[in-house]
Amino acid sequence: LLGTAYAVNISDDLRPVFVTAFSQSHFMEGKRLIASIRKFHKTAIVIVYDLGLSLKGAVRVKRWCQVVYRRFRFEDYPPYFEQLHTFRWKPVVIAEALRDYGAIWYMDTSIILEKGDLRHVQALVTCYGTHEVLFCSFPILTTEQRDIRESHWNSSSGWDTVQWTANINECKKSTYLLHSFTGHGIYAATDPALYSYFPVSIEELKKPKAKMYEAGLVFAVRTRETENILKWSVLCALEEDCMGTRIVPNACEFNRSDYYTSFARCHRYDQSVVNVLLADSYYYDRHYYSSEITDFFRIQRFLTRSVGNRELKCV
């Protein structure tokens, strides 16, 4: 999926495409997502992966302007990939899109774009193209210092420009960025069986700075770091008991007084995997694998109105 042919030349002129994937049961949510993109980006390319659309649904998607239709080739993967709720298809979709386009915004159909200018988010990655020497001068804080920093974390601001400026100057964010905090830690919603595939520091994973973020909203640029995250995500998806779980029922039972060190007896599939991989690669610290910006989207998992075809127009 991702060879070693090239990595993207990171610059301010980065032009990511939008990517999503849905089956017929989420057709209307997919239409809503694309309408929200078209509100701000009339001619942007949107890649739509067909996870099980009806023939009529596929025909409709193919007619939408500036949309590239792709059928997910389930026949190329083990049968359990067809269990859509395990999201094994998602790292494959992201890897394929990055292979072909170099920089992407992946969005689940529950995402609604609320801002057109995304350069403030992308700048957290494009800074690597302008900080050849400067960013190296900012050392990584010690574990103790980062624990203290996390104790002062405040999620109330959609875009804290002071923190953002510091992040740009530091320029140490992941090139695979998550954005939406789930409200709990990684440890709380990850099947412990996963740690037999990816040995981690359980002590660090239980700390508040190892926060879990939604895997359904990603800004990613093809770099060696991103390729490494995706390589292990895809390999885990291919292994039935790695991304999967034997926990029944798989329903979170959170300790309301402890969202970090107490296991909630549930597993978030691809979300657990990618968060574990990012945490292990970035000091178990969400400061490095999240954008810390939430002013450009909202998440809505149900429909409140129908979306008209005119909202999908590219003019």
Q: SS3 sequence, the chain?
A: CCCCCCCCCCCCCCCCEEEEEECHHHHHHHHHHHHHHHHHCCCCCEEEEECCCCHHHHHHHHHCCCEEEEECCHHHCCHHHHCHHHCCHHHHHHHHHHHHHCEEEEECCCEEECCCCCHHHHHHHHHHHCCCCHHHHCCCCCHHHHHHHHHCCCCCCCECHHHHHHHHHHCCCCCEEECCEEEEECHHHCCHHHHHCCCCCHHHHCCCCCEEECCCEEEEECCHHHHHHHHHHHHHHHCHHHHCCCCCCCCCCCECCECCCCCCCCCCCHHHHHHHHHHHHCCCCHHHHECCECCCEEECCCCCCCCCHHHHCCC
Specify the CATH number for the domain of residue 197: 3.90.550
Question: Has residue 73 been placed in a domain?
Answer: yes
Is the pLDDT assigned to residue 245 strictly greater than 90?
A: yes
Structure tokens given for 81: 């990939």
List, for residues 98-111, the tens digit of each pLDDT value: 999 999 999 999 99
Name the residue among 136, 113, 277, 129 with its Cα closest to residue 195: 277
For 6-21, letters b (16+ CB in 10 Å) and e give ebbebeeebebbbbbb
**156: its two tokens:** 């109330």
Entry pTM: 0.96
What is the average per-residue pLDDT within 109-132? 92
In a domain, 310, yes or no: no
Q: Is residue 140 part of a domain?
A: yes
Mean pLDDT of 236-252: 97
Q: Are 190 and 267 in contact (CB under 8 A)?
A: yes
Quick one: average pLDDT of 167-174?
Answer: 96
pLDDT tens-digit series, residues 247-285:
999 999 999 999 999 999 999 999 999 999 999 999 999
- For the chain, what is the radius of gyration of the CA atoms? 19
Number of domains forming the structure of the chain:
1
HSE toward the beta carbon, residue 201, CA cutoff 13 A: 13
Quick check: is 230 in a domain? Answer: yes
Residue 309 lies in a domain: no
Residue 66 in domain? yes
Provide the pLDDT for residue 4: 55
pLDDT digits (tens, 9 = 90+) for 40-97: 999 999 999 999 999 999 999 999 999 999 999 999 999 999 999 999 999 999 999 9
Q: How confident is the model at residue 228 (pLDDT cuts 50, 70, 90)?
A: very high
Q: What proportion of the chain, given as a percentage, has pLDDT over 70?
A: 95
Range of the domain at 225: 17-301
Mean pLDDT of the chain: 95
pLDDT above 80: residue 28:
yes
Query: Can you tell me the distance from the alpha carbon of 73 to that of 133, in angstroms, rounded to the nearest whole number?
Result: 43
Report the pLDDT averaged over residues 147-174: 94
| Cα–Cα distance for residue pair 235/213, rounded to 1 Å | 21
For residue 268, the model assigns a pLDDT of 98
pLDDT of residue 35: 98
Q: What is the model's pLDDT at position 145?
A: 98
- Residues 272 and 189 sit within 8 Å (Cβ to Cβ): yes
Report pLDDT for 135: 47
Helix axes 89-101, 270-281, angle to 10 degrees: 60
Indicate whether 208 belongs to any domain.
yes
In a domain? residue 11? no
What is the structure's pLDDT at 275?
99
Q: CA-based diameter of the chain, in Å?
A: 57
Please state, in angstroms and rounded to a whole number, the distance separating the CA atoms of residues 169 and 121: 14
Q: What is the pLDDT of residue 14?
A: 85
Q: How far apart are CA 112 and CA 109, in angstroms?
A: 8
The structure tokens listed for 9 are 């030349």
pLDDT over threshold 80, residue 134: no
pLDDT for 133 equals 43
